[in-house]
Structure 1
């Protein structure tokens, strides 16, 4: 994380994608799909929210740069204190968003919820290096399970959430997270970021903090209109996670079929360009995501490694 703060190229690209591309995408979808003002308000508020912590879990399972993901989630939460009201003011001229209250206390609480477990993890990693891999595995898979359980509970709490939903809203729900991920990846690629970093920027851009959006709406609008405004963020949680699950599945399938090839396929030596590509891929995957060698659960399999800085 300190490396990303000292050389914040990925962070700057990610913040630009989060607070400029995503609100513009949402505004464009609202106009294309012809959503009514209440649905459009919920969609616009969600697009102006910071990234959610779910993106950290998806980044981990897609072998992205987890440290960049956490840094982006943290910084987007801080920057949202100013950029959320700014974006709502800019795009509110084209949509009747009414008087929106930004829940600063909620954003501050989000910062604590992001940084406190991170600090605990750093301490465990430094003081108990043999125990840390077990915490990593348990934390990542249990976090994935909790996200799934929360979404299932939402169906039981709001059993009529899918009733009388216009078809155009479903289209916007599916396009927004998918297009957000694609735009983030392309944005990172344009600025020549390595593939794991571009993938991370895409995931962060497509995964919004749904809880913050729900809080903003609850604090800002009369109860009688809240249900329609809340509909887009509530449904977005399902679509966002579905896209995330599909992305993880595609990535794991691709990795199994095309990236793990036995070395005995050919005895011919690699030429210099092939060697360069192989070394670059090894560097890109170093200390990233689920394939991080420090995440191996068996401490006996862990050799003494040099620090990341010495790499």
Structure 2
């Protein structure tokens, strides 16, 4: 195993699973039942993730006249759902964690159907010479969601139920640990993609930055337009702009068999960690978000 493989296949999933465990200790079943009872926030988040994000990505690829390989790489990223990293950022930003987890899980499952459809159109439109049938590893994708997200959070919620005082005492230490792990994950992403960073920033640095800022901006504006509270607006903003870069990279390099398509993904990963870090720095200091 190379260092990049160890980071991507062992360190990142294990770190995120630990964070999900701590996140679960801040949640109770009522947090999720509230989403079912009032589904407006979840629906807005899903529309942003599954509808607006690909449209914005497609439009930018045309406006910036990207070559076919870069355009399809950008679309690979734009079709992917949010990942566990988005849940981590929402936790530190003191957003609606239950909403974030719900959006990640549902969008990940729905995207199994939407990714092949959108990417097939992108390959045809941009004229890439990649002639493949796009089939996602459905079972592996679901298992990834379960192992990294659902199971650790469920265990954390069980701890919260039966060891409430312990769970409450662990909130601050786990938030600090989340921040530290976020920084380590950022460093790991750079280490795993360092060969592509220079090329990526030169070729698609600007367009990926604009994509990140626009998707986050649209997420926040739609949340406020529909009068969602600030905690839910944070979750939708983050879920709209923080993508599952690992899944995107797997699709580009394994399914589409084109390493160059991973260049926009590497560039975007840097930007989303920077913008996510800024949000954590600014919003993590805030108090009493429920009333805003």
Q: Shorter-normalised TM-score: what interval?
A: 0.7 to 0.9
Whichever structure has more helix as a proportion of its residues is 2
Deviation (angstroms), 1:157:
3.9
Equivalent pair of 1:65/1:197 in contact (CA under 8 Å): yes
Q: Which runs of 5+ in 1 are unaligned?
A: 260-280, 286-311
Distance 2:190 2:78 in 1: 23
Aligned to 1:32: 63
Aligned to 2:38: 7
Verify: 1:214 aligned to 2:249, yes or no. yes
* Secondary structure class of the residue paired with 2:196: coil
Equivalent pair of 2:200/2:266 in contact (CA under 8 Å): no
Match for 2:119 among 70, 88, 93? 88
Distance 2:175 2:64 in 1: 37
Aligned to 1:139: 174
Q: 4+ runs of 1 displaced by more than 6 Å?
A: none
The normalised TM-score by structure 1 is 0.76
Note the aligned Cα RMSD (angstroms). 2.2
Equivalent pair of 2:197/2:266 in contact (CA under 8 Å): no
- My pick for the range that moved more, 147-156 or 210-219, is 147-156
The normalised TM-score by structure 2 is 0.80
Aligned to 2:137: 103
Distance 2:283 2:201 in 1: 32
Match for 2:75 among 44, 47, 51? 44
Deviation (angstroms), 1:101:
3.3
* Residues 150/166 of structure 1: CA separation in 2 closer, same or farther (3 Å cut): closer
Distance 2:262 2:220 in 1: 28
Aligned to 1:199: 234
* Secondary structure class of the residue paired with 1:35: coil
Match for 1:243 among 243, 257, 275? 275
Deviation (angstroms), 1:117:
0.9
* Secondary structure class of the residue paired with 2:136: coil
Verify: 1:76 aligned to 2:107, yes or no. yes
Highest CA radius of gyration, 1 or 2? 1
Aligned to 2:153: 118
Number of residue-to-residue matches in the alignment = 257
Deviation (angstroms), 1:195:
2.2
